[in-house]
Amino acid sequence: MANHSQLGFQDASSPIMEELVEFHDHALMVALAICSLVLYLLALMLMEKLSSNTVDAQEVELIWTILPAIVLVLLALPSLQILYMMDEIDEPDLTLKAIGHQWYWTYEYTDFKDLSFDSYMTPTTDLPQGHFRLLEVDHRIVVPMESPIRVIITADDVLHSWAVPTLGVKTDAIPGRLNQTSFITTRPGVFYGQCSEICGANHSYMPIVVESTPLKHFEAWSSLLSS
């Protein structure tokens, strides 16, 4: 959960988000090195007297042509690796269908019989003490920890977006189309997200809450709801 003074990302709760945070730090270090080099050269040229050596310098031109290409390769390779990892969905243990409406979510556990529910934002007047305003819902998504989860996402009316930052998940919900994503929670906890596509007047009132629990707790929860 993000706080008011936080400058970085939320703590990663999935392997994909861990990779995204590492790539972000890697890209920032590359950008820092480039800015430092450029500032150093600018300061050097301002302090040094101009000479004829700067007029014809083929070696320098060769370096500043090859060096950016190397930098781009250093950024592109880990980026492509993460993209392939995000698209890879291999034999999920659980499939969850998320349907966006104005302005609530419907969830269907397709591996269970008659296990589905609507998830509305909890009004501020009904919010229990200690819960988060505009982020808590009346029915949370419950998933087993350390299990591959596939989420099939669509919409019933307008464009929505199913996003949970701490899991590294953000997928558009488009009417008439099925998109899919996947995640694995690495620890128990409650993870908050919101609709990230402007979908009307109450766009900011479509929170997403994912609760990660041990497998035995998930089995007890699912048997209670499906009975």
Mean pLDDT of 192-219: 92
**72 and 101 share one domain:** no
Would you say residue 6 lies in a domain? Answer: no
- pLDDT given for residue 54 in this prediction: 54
**2-11, 54-63, 86-95, 163-172: which has the highest mean pLDDT?**
163-172
The type of residue at 193 is G
| Global confidence as pTM | 0.82
**106 and 137 share one domain:** yes
Mean pLDDT of 46-67: 73
Of 44, 67, 85, which residue sits at a domain end?
85
**208 and 167 share one domain:** yes
Nearest to 196 by CA among 124, 108, 100: 100
Would you say residue 5 lies in a domain? Answer: no
Check if the beta carbon of residue 100 is closer than 8 Å to that of residue 178: no
Q: How confident is the model at residue 113 (pLDDT cuts 50, 70, 90)?
A: confident
Which pair of tokens denotes residue 53? 């050596």
**99 and 25 share one domain:** no
pLDDT tens, position by position, 131-144:
888 999 999 999 99
Of 70, 85, 100, which residue sits at a domain end?
85
Would you say residue 4 lies in a domain? Answer: no
Domain count, the chain: 2
Peptide bond preceding 103 in cis form (omega within 30 of 0): yes
- pLDDT given for residue 205 in this prediction: 92
- pLDDT given for residue 18 in this prediction: 92
| 63: CATH | 1.10.287.90
**65 and 126 share one domain:** no
d(C-alpha 184, C-alpha 223), whole Å: 22
pLDDT tens, position by position, 60-103:
788 888 988 988 998 999 899 898 888 888 789 999 999 999 99
| 169: CATH | 2.60.40.420
pLDDT tens, position by position, 22-46:
999 999 999 999 999 889 988 888 8
Q: Is the pLDDT of residue 173 over 80?
A: yes
Nearest to 123 by CA among 207, 192, 225: 207
Would you say residue 3 lies in a domain? Answer: no
Check if the beta carbon of residue 109 is closer than 8 Å to that of residue 94: yes
Computed over every residue of the chain, the mean pLDDT equals 88
Would you say residue 156 lies in a domain? Answer: yes
**71 and 112 share one domain:** no
Which pair of tokens denotes residue 38? 């450029």
**214 and 158 share one domain:** yes
Q: What is the CA radius of gyration of the chain?
A: 24
Range of the domain at 213: 92-223
**79 and 62 share one domain:** yes
Instruction: Give how far the C-alpha of residue 67 lies from the chain's centroid of Cα atoms, to the nearest Å.
Output: 31
**143 and 217 share one domain:** yes
Quick one: what percent of the chain has pLDDT higher than 70? 95
- pLDDT given for residue 191 in this prediction: 94
**111 and 41 share one domain:** no
| Phi and psi, residue 80, nearest 5° | -65, -40
**51 and 105 share one domain:** no
**123 and 72 share one domain:** no
Pairing mode of beta strands 169-173, 207-213: unpaired
Q: How confident is the model at residue 130 (pLDDT cuts 50, 70, 90)?
A: confident
Quick one: what percent of the chain has pLDDT higher than 90? 54
